Structure 1
Amino acid sequence: MVEYRAVFDAEVVFANGGGLRTDGFRLDVPDPEVTDDELAALLVRHLGLLMVGEVRISNRSVVEEPHKGGRGVATAPTGGGRRLVELSHEITDGMVTLPDLPAPRITDWLSREASRQRYAPGVEFHIARIDMIANTGTYVDTPSHRFAAAPDLAGVPLDRLADLPALVVRVPAGTRAVDRLLLAPYQVAGRAVLLHTGWDAHFGTDAYAAPDAPYLTGDGASWLVDAGAALVGIDSINIDDMTPAAAGERPAHTALLAAGIPIVEHLTGLGALPPTGFRFTAAPPRVAGMGTFPVRAFAVVDARPPSTSVDR
């Protein structure tokens, strides 16, 4: 389904005095034939403006571009019923998630050939063995990953990990630091907030650990805590800045996990999700004494999701 956004300049004149001007503004539109009057109404709705006397549109063009979730434009239906969207990387023998950590090793504990000695003729089974660290593939961090006395994988309630209403924050290309200004337009209370940076395209390559990997700032994490986010995920190598300039500080981990907000790192496929109108699950095994573990993260997308965010 092709989606469209308008790119335009606008001058807003308020009935009670004053005005507002935008240059090169981008806004979701329902189709490429949108009129200036329709575009003006969408802009007023998108920004939540009151007492508007006049809107003048100029330098307008319409481009094919996925919707970002503008108010007043519903996301297009997905084609009947609900659909599942895979958001996890596949775990394979020898894969690299983080360059300084050991890769998983997948071997046989009981091979099919050996199992034939245990069972009736024609009956065989395979029991595999995996040796890996917890931070492998797409995984969840629970509070005990950062704080010794905090809830671990067995202690975090399922309602913080499964079937969460969710939204996607589209991070502009070339942006490293996701701060509160990028997050402020979103209604995140009680939702899983998934930061779509596009960095997952580098997963499994040397570029994935490059110093320009996107991350969530401490200020952005604090805003998410105050705004009541239920879970935060990112498709980058870490939710914190990992460069030497960060000096080993982990403000995003610290703020979110101190507030009991799980973190899902190394997501993938977020570009296949609508801005809102889906539910997110990233549930790990219920292992006591561990704070991190791989998950099968996925989304359930409604046929016609609502639109509530206001990013541009």
Structure 2
Amino acid sequence: MIVELSHRIVDGMVTYPGVPGPKLGVHLSREDSRDVYAPGTEFHIGTITLAANTGTYLDTPHHRYADGPDLSQVPLTKLADLPGLVVRAQGPREVVLDQSLDVRGKAVLIHTGWDRHFGTDAYFHGHPYLAPESAKWLADQGAALVGIDSLNIDDTPPRGERPAHTILLGAGIPLVEHLTGLAELPGEGFRFHAAPPLIAGMGTFPVRAYAIVP
């Protein structure tokens, strides 16, 4: 079974306050393509202008650190076919992880249920986030990737400090924010995938995150 874990990207959607929504357009319409191709042959070539932090997206170390690996430098072994672990953390805003969990080499996905608010103003206020001490523990334990179905893996506000981003990306651990559908996954025993386009010089980009459950 394949489980969809990404939000759909639509024209004008707001993922994060202050970040402009994507703009979808047309480079070549089906009607205009009739003048280019043989009779009966039509194509549509679309365009999109979007901020890298749109929808469900991946953060690489370059997002936080100028000399960190960017989208084109993070190997697929850190993004695809990872053993997955879901941590159910519905409750307090600050998510503190159980340190008896085996997270080494796994995609640790934090299920808060906050994705139910996506697309509404409620999504932007009072969202769950990962406790800094848990971020450090994940880094120390060698988690492969960390994801969350919330507005941000850090508390927002306050403005300025982003301890989970700083710790995890500093340890070379990619992040996936704005996940959805984690309620459909078992606690473990699945494989997680979230590979972005191979773009040099960018630290963040939307992904089609999904899980394969035997």
- TM-score calculated relative to the size of structure 2: 0.98
Aligned residues: 214
Question: In the alignment, is the contact (CA less than 8 A) between 2:136 and 2:168 conserved in 1?
Answer: yes
Which ranges in structure 2 are unaligned for 5 or more consecutive residues? none
Q: After superposition, where does 1:8-87 map in structure 2 within 5 Å?
A: 83-87=1-5
The answer to whether the aligner puts 1:178 opposite 2:99 as a matched pair is no
Q: Does 1:134 align with 2:52?
A: yes
Q: 2:14 matched to which residue of 1?
A: 96
Tell me if 1:113 matches 2:113: no
2:70 maps to what in 1?
152
Match 1:274 to one of 163, 180, 186:
186
Tell whether the 8 Å contact from 1:189 to 1:227 is kept in structure 2 after alignment: yes
Cα distance in 1 between the residues matched to 2:133 and 2:124? 23
Partner of 2:147: 233
Q: CA–CA distance in 2 between the matches of 1:247 and 1:120?
A: 56
Question: Would you say the 8 A contact 1:104–1:133 is kept in 2?
Answer: yes
- In structure 1, stretches of 5+ residues that fail to align are 1-82, 303-312
Q: Could you list the runs of 4 or more consecutive aligned residues of structure 1 that deviate by over 6 angstroms after TM superposition?
A: none
2:177 matched to 1:262? no
Secondary structure at the counterpart of residue 183 of structure 1: coil
Q: Which has the higher contact order (CA 8 A, sep 6+)?
A: 2
Q: Deviations over 1:233-252 (max 9, x none)?
A: 00000000012xx3421000
**CA RMSD, Structure 1 to Structure 2 (Å):** 0.7
Which string of whole-angstrom CA distances, capped at 9 and with x for unpartnered residues, describes residues 35-81 of structure 1? xxxxxxxxxxxxxxxxxxxxxxxxxxxxxxxxxxxxxxxxxxxxxxx
Query: Residue 192 of structure 1 corresponds to which residue in structure 2?
Result: 107
| Whole-angstrom distance in 2 between the partners of 1:248 and 1:167 | 30
The structure 2 residue matched to 1:214, chosen from 124, 128, 140, is 128
Look at both structures and tell me which one has the larger radius of gyration over its CA atoms. Answer: 1
1:217 and 1:114 mapped to 2: Cα distance? Answer: 54
CA contact (8 A) 1:87 1:298 kept: yes
d(CA) in 2 for partners of 1:186, 1:129: 44
User: Match of 1:207, SS?
Assistant: helix
> Residue 289 of structure 1 aligns with which residue?
201
SS of residue in 2 equivalent to 1:194: strand
Q: Secondary structure at the match of 2:146?
A: strand
What SS is found at the alignment partner of 1:167? strand
CA distance in 2, matches of 1:177, 1:113: 53
Rounded to whole Å, the distance in 2 between the matches of 1:266 and 1:172 is: 15
